[in-house]
Amino acid sequence: MIPEIGHFALILALGLAICQSVLPLLGAHRGSTAMMAVARPAATAQFVFILIAFVCLTWAFLDSDFSVLYVANHSQLSLPTIYKISAVWGAHEGSLLLWVLLLSGWTILVCRYSRGLPAPFSSRVIGVLGILSLGFLLFTLLTSNPFERLIPAPADGSDLNPLLQDPGLAIHPPILYMGYVGFAVAFAFAIAAMISGNLDQKWARWTRPWTTAAWLFLTIGIALGSWWAYYELGWGGWWFWDPVENASFMPWLIGTALIHSLAVTEKRGLFKSWTLLLAISAFSLSLLGTFLVRSGILISVHAFAVDPERGLFILTFLSIVIGGALILYAWRAPGLDSEAGFKPLSRETFLLLNNVLLVIATILILGGTLAPLIVEVFTGEKISVGPPYFDLAFIIPMLPLVFLVGIGMHTAWGMQAPSKLAQLIKKPAIVAIVLGIALPFLIYGSSGALLVVGVVAGIWIMIMAAIQPIGYWRKNGTILSMPRGILGMSIAHFGVGMFVFGVVIVSSFSIEADRGLRPGETVNVAGYDFTLKSLDDIRGPNYTAIEGNFEVRKNGAFISDLRPQKRTYLVQQSPMTEAAIDAELERDIFVALGDPLGDGAWSVRLQYKPMIRLIWLGAFVMALGGIVATSDRRYRATGREH
């Protein structure tokens, strides 16, 4: 009964999505207040029904109702409760439902905070969001119904993929989707502006907090995904340039460009059509990611189970939404750009460079991601593109950017006096260069050209980002009253510096060794002594495991006990490696069990990863900067202004 309620609620939501899209758009066109007034109630009701559907599915999981096909395929009686809940979005159908729920959640937030905007504009925004919701609800109901029955019900389910039975992955998808879906709001704002043919600086101010909010979720989502890959499947790697990772990274890059370009549009009224294009692209790349991941068109380790029918549906939807938006763009954008130019040495220039470099990086990554598909379609050859390509394609445009960031944030709008800027830069530049050359030698005892460049860049950004908050604090004794926009920017850029620093150190000084070990033996890796004390058989709720008991010492001093496992999940009989990690801010020690080598020996991977925490910490600091920036009073005022 419960699943039928959920199914029915989804159908009702579909009906409401039609109301929410057609009536407000038509009303805005005709100037009918009554029709526009439908927008908010329809969106709210739609959210309620989607929430009901979501709760029903969650209930079916908690209740282990295996008469629901999706539950039978992705759960099991002895699955721990937290994973029964996260299993709701553990596979295609449920994750789509989550997607729709979040889209609808963003929509009611827009409803709530757009009351101060002109009615035709907010109606159009909500209407466009309604169309998107309509598309995804149709997709769910027609090709991916999570409530499909399986009668008679099996006695037990076939379990959740063991890889997904992990706390990191339980929260990664909702947060990542919050980011993906959040760009729909910026997209809807862009479409609404193009329909009305009116794009002013106020528009940019309305759009900014939404974009930043979506971006910060995406930032956290990607960081969580990377962290999960690191300890759960990466054997210590933290980024693989897998198509699915790229699918989330490209919207992030464009979203970052959009945040910066919106700043120019708000402050100076420039880059209007460019900002629109970025707003369309950020969400388009989110949709494209969905398509790539769920159609099976690209080969990836993360890809969902595949169904050509679904691929075709998303492709059609994609063509309508993105194609429609771009046609509208080609038609409307030419009228929007102003003739005003700007001076070469000004913040505008730096933000333009930021945009150009981010877009170049995105295009290069998109090219590498799609190359296997394109080559195969045209030549029939099956190729793959290795990570070194992506490393380089990313580093080349980013290297100038990381140096420009430091200068850009201290450059004035309009025009900057070169002498003052030079004076400001001089000291930090010297400090960064000296530290960049000295630090690797002092701490790690070696160096290299690229390493120095990277370390200098990381320190440089951190120093430059700290200047303004420190200056404000000295003057006022607090930084809490500092304008939130500037404070947020400084924090986010500081996070970039941490990230750059972490990446450079990890890639230069990581030590990794695969060894064969018998119980009682000790190996030394990176100055740490790893002793395999014993191998024990243990039993978890739905798996059995062999657990290695390692003792780690450095120069005789005890560091940590590590217990990596090799699990076998009982239902799917699939093996899983659970690494054990001793984490400190300045380094991780990572131990994973490989395979039995015979004669009681096991292959073991031992790793030393300096500063790897800074990679994720840097990402979280960036996101924190986003939170601070969205709390700026300037944006809150928009709700009340009339």
Partner 1 sequence: MRYLFPIIAFGLLIGVFIKGLDPERDLNALPSPFLGKDAPAFDLPKLKNPSERVSSSDYQGVVSLVNVWATWCVGCRQEHEFLKSLAQEESVPIYGINWRDRREDALEWLDVLGDPYIASGYDHDGRVGIDWGVYGAPETFLIGKDGTVLYKHLGPLDRVRWNQDFLPLIQEELENIK
Partner 2 sequence: MKPRQQRMLAVGLVAIGIGIGVALTLTAFEENMMFFIDISDVNEGKYPANRNFRVGGLVVEGSVERETGALEIQFDLTDLNTELTVIYSGILPDLFREGQGIVAHGRLGTDGRFIADEVLAKHDEKYMPPEVAESLKQYRPAVAPETDMEAKQP
Place of tokens 């193009």: 194
* Residue placing its CB nearer to partner 1 in the complex, 207 or 295: 295
* Residue placing its CB nearer to partner 2 in the complex, 531 or 577: 577
**Does 592 contact partner 2 by CB under 8 A?**
yes
The residue among 513, 516, 405, 508 whose CA lies nearest residue 463 is 405
**Residue 93: strand, helix, or coil:** helix
- The full DSSP string for 148-162 is -B-SSPPSS-----G
**Does 575 contact partner 2 by CB under 8 A?**
yes
The residue among 103, 121, 247, 136 whose CA lies nearest residue 189 is 121
The residue among 395, 614, 584, 605 whose CA lies nearest residue 505 is 614
Out of 315, 396, 450, 637, the residue judged to bind partner 1 by CB under 8 A: 315
Taking the complex as a whole, the smallest distance from the CB of residue 293 to partner 2 amounts, in Å, to 14
Quote the radius of gyration of the chain (alpha carbons, Å): 26
**Residues numbered 340-379 forming contacts with partner 1, rule: CB under 8 A:** 370, 373-374, 376-377
Taking the complex as a whole, the smallest distance from the CB of residue 230 to partner 2 amounts, in Å, to 16
**Does 69 contact partner 1 by CB under 8 A?**
yes
The partner in contact with residue 152, picked from partner 2, partner 1, none with C-beta cut-offs of 5 to 8 angstroms by kind, is partner 1
Out of 329, 403, 528, 590, the residue judged to bind partner 1 by CB under 8 A: 329
Give the separation between CA 99 and CA 310, rounded to whole angstroms. 16
Annotate each residue in 29-68 with x if it binds partner 1 (CB under 8 A) or - if it does not, as one string: ----------------------------------------
**Residues numbered 502-561 forming contacts with partner 2, rule: CB under 8 A:** 514-516, 518
Out of 507, 603, 631, 638, the residue judged to bind partner 2 by CB under 8 A: 603
Is the C-alpha dihedral spanning 112, 210, 38, 131 positive or negative?
A: negative
The partner in contact with residue 45, picked from partner 2, partner 1, none with C-beta cut-offs of 5 to 8 angstroms by kind, is none
Taking the complex as a whole, the smallest distance from the CB of residue 589 to partner 2 amounts, in Å, to 17
CA 250 vs CA 219, 246, 354, 359, 605: distances in Å: 12, 6, 15, 9, 32
Give the separation between CA 569 and CA 232, rounded to whole angstroms. 15
Annotate each residue in 239-278 with x if it binds partner 2 (CB under 8 A) or - if it does not, as one string: ----------------------------------------
Q: Under a CB-based contact definition with an 8 Å cutoff, are residues 490 and 462 in contact?
A: no
In single-letter form, the type of residue at position 201 comes to Q
Taking the complex as a whole, the smallest distance from the CB of residue 164 to partner 2 amounts, in Å, to 10
**Does 381 contact partner 2 by CB under 8 A?**
yes
* Residue placing its CB nearer to partner 1 in the complex, 319 or 524: 319
Place of tokens 């690209």: 298
The partner in contact with residue 330, picked from partner 1, partner 2, none with C-beta cut-offs of 5 to 8 angstroms by kind, is partner 1
User: For residue 515, what are the β-bridge partners?
Assistant: 604
**Does 150 contact partner 1 by CB under 8 A?**
yes
**Residues numbered 253-282 forming contacts with partner 1, rule: CB under 8 A:** 273, 277, 280-281
- Angle at CA of residue 369, ends 392 and 133, nearest 5°: 130
The partner in contact with residue 516, picked from partner 2, partner 1, none with C-beta cut-offs of 5 to 8 angstroms by kind, is partner 2
User: For residue 583, what are the β-bridge partners?
Assistant: 588
Give the separation between CA 451 and CA 504, rounded to whole angstroms. 6
Q: Under a CB-based contact definition with an 8 Å cutoff, are residues 357 and 234 in contact?
A: no
Place of tokens 């510096």: 497
Place of tokens 């971006």: 215
Q: Under a CB-based contact definition with an 8 Å cutoff, are residues 538 and 565 in contact?
A: yes
Give the separation between CA 133 and CA 122, rounded to whole angstroms. 16
Q: Under a CB-based contact definition with an 8 Å cutoff, are residues 496 and 402 in contact?
A: yes
Stretch that binds partner 2, among 452-460, 541-549, 601-609, 619-627 (CB under 8 A): 601-609
The partner in contact with residue 4, picked from partner 1, partner 2, none with C-beta cut-offs of 5 to 8 angstroms by kind, is none
Out of 573, 598, 640, 641, the residue judged to bind partner 1 by CB under 8 A: 573
Q: Under a CB-based contact definition with an 8 Å cutoff, are residues 94 and 57 in contact?
A: yes
Out of 197, 308, 387, 414, the residue judged to bind partner 1 by CB under 8 A: 308
Peptide bond into 400 cis (omega under 30): no
**Does 383 contact partner 2 by CB under 8 A?**
yes
Peptide bond into 174 cis (omega under 30): no
* Residue placing its CB nearer to partner 2 in the complex, 102 or 545: 545
**Residue 573: strand, helix, or coil:** coil
The partner in contact with residue 154, picked from partner 1, partner 2, none with C-beta cut-offs of 5 to 8 angstroms by kind, is partner 1
Taking the complex as a whole, the smallest distance from the CB of residue 112 to partner 2 amounts, in Å, to 41
- Strands 580-583 and 522-525, by their bridges, are unpaired
The residue among 513, 520, 498 whose CA lies nearest residue 608 is 513
Q: Under a CB-based contact definition with an 8 Å cutoff, are residues 176 and 222 in contact?
A: yes
**Does 112 contact partner 2 by CB under 8 A?**
no
- Angle at CA of residue 499, ends 494 and 503, nearest 5°: 150
Stretch that binds partner 2, among 295-303, 435-443, 533-541, 547-555 (CB under 8 A): 295-303
The partner in contact with residue 295, picked from partner 1, partner 2, none with C-beta cut-offs of 5 to 8 angstroms by kind, is partner 1
How many residues make contact with partner 2 (CB under 8 A)?
A: 45
Out of 418, 445, 477, 598, the residue judged to bind partner 2 by CB under 8 A: 598
Out of 326, 360, 425, 479, the residue judged to bind partner 1 by CB under 8 A: 326
Out of 15, 296, 483, 516, the residue judged to bind partner 1 by CB under 8 A: 296
Give the separation between CA 57 and CA 55, rounded to whole angstroms. 5
The partner in contact with residue 437, picked from partner 1, partner 2, none with C-beta cut-offs of 5 to 8 angstroms by kind, is none
First to last CA, the chain: 48
Stretch that binds partner 1, among 11-19, 90-98, 312-320, 606-614 (CB under 8 A): 312-320
Residues that bind partner 2 (CB under 8 A): 161, 163, 233, 235, 296, 299, 301-302, 305, 344, 364, 368, 371, 381-389, 392-393, 396-397, 400, 514-516, 518, 572, 574-577, 592, 594-595, 597-599, 601, 603, 605
Residues that bind partner 1 (CB under 8 A): 69, 72-73, 150-152, 154, 157-158, 273, 277, 280-281, 284, 291, 295-297, 299, 306, 308, 311-312, 315, 318-319, 322-323, 326-327, 329-330, 333-334, 370, 373-374, 376-377, 571-573
